[in-house]
């Protein structure tokens, strides 16, 4: 069966510090990968998606970036965090030809 991992589960960072969130998927190959952000009490905002290694599409221009160094690894980064980067970050995967997205447990990021 497939599983998706995210870490860390929670993170408190000062403004201006760097960020690296990691997502890995097990039990499948060549998945589509996604990064979402969810503000408190709000819906899901798609940040990045990837259909393959090194292929990243950005949905929202901002100070975040994503990379996919391996088939089942997706990394969300920032060089300098802003207060507005606080939120619940979710990684998801889907099979290339199917529509269902499966979400990880999320990372709660607080920027102070």
Footprint on this chain of other proteins (rule: CB under 8 A)? 32, 34, 41-44, 46, 49, 51, 90, 92, 94, 97-106, 108
Beta carbon of residue 63, minimum distance to other proteins (angstroms, whole number): 23
Count CB neighbours of 31 within 10 A.
Answer: 23
Beta carbon of residue 100, minimum distance to other proteins (angstroms, whole number): 5
Q: Which is nearer to other proteins, 29 or 100 (CB)?
A: 100
The C-alpha atoms of residue 87 and residue 101 are separated, in whole angstroms, by 20
- Tracing tokens 């965090």 back to the chain, one arrives at 81
Q: Which is nearer to other proteins, 19 or 92 (CB)?
A: 92
Q: Which is nearer to other proteins, 75 or 92 (CB)?
A: 92
- End-to-end, the C-alpha distance of the chain in Å comes to 38
Tokens of 106: 């999320």
Beta carbon of residue 108, minimum distance to other proteins (angstroms, whole number): 8
Task: Please report the beta strands in 3-43, taking only residues with DSSP state E, as ranges in sequence order.
Answer: 3-7, 10-13, 19-26, 32-38
């Amino acid at each position: 069966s497939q599983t998706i991992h995210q870490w860390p589960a929670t993170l408190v960072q000062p403004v201006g510090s760097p960020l690296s969130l990691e997502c890995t998927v097990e039990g499948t190959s060549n998945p589509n990968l996604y990064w979402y952000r969810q503000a408190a009490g709000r819906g899901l905002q798609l940040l990045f998606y990837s259909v393959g290694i090194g292929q990243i599409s950005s949905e929202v221009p901002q100070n975040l970036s994503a990379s996919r160094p391996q088939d089942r690894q997706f990394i969300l980064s920032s060089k300098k965090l802003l207060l507005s980067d606080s939120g619940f970050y979710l990684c998801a995967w889907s099979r290339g030809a199917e529509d269902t997205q499966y979400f990880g447990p999320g990372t709660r990021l607080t920027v102070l």
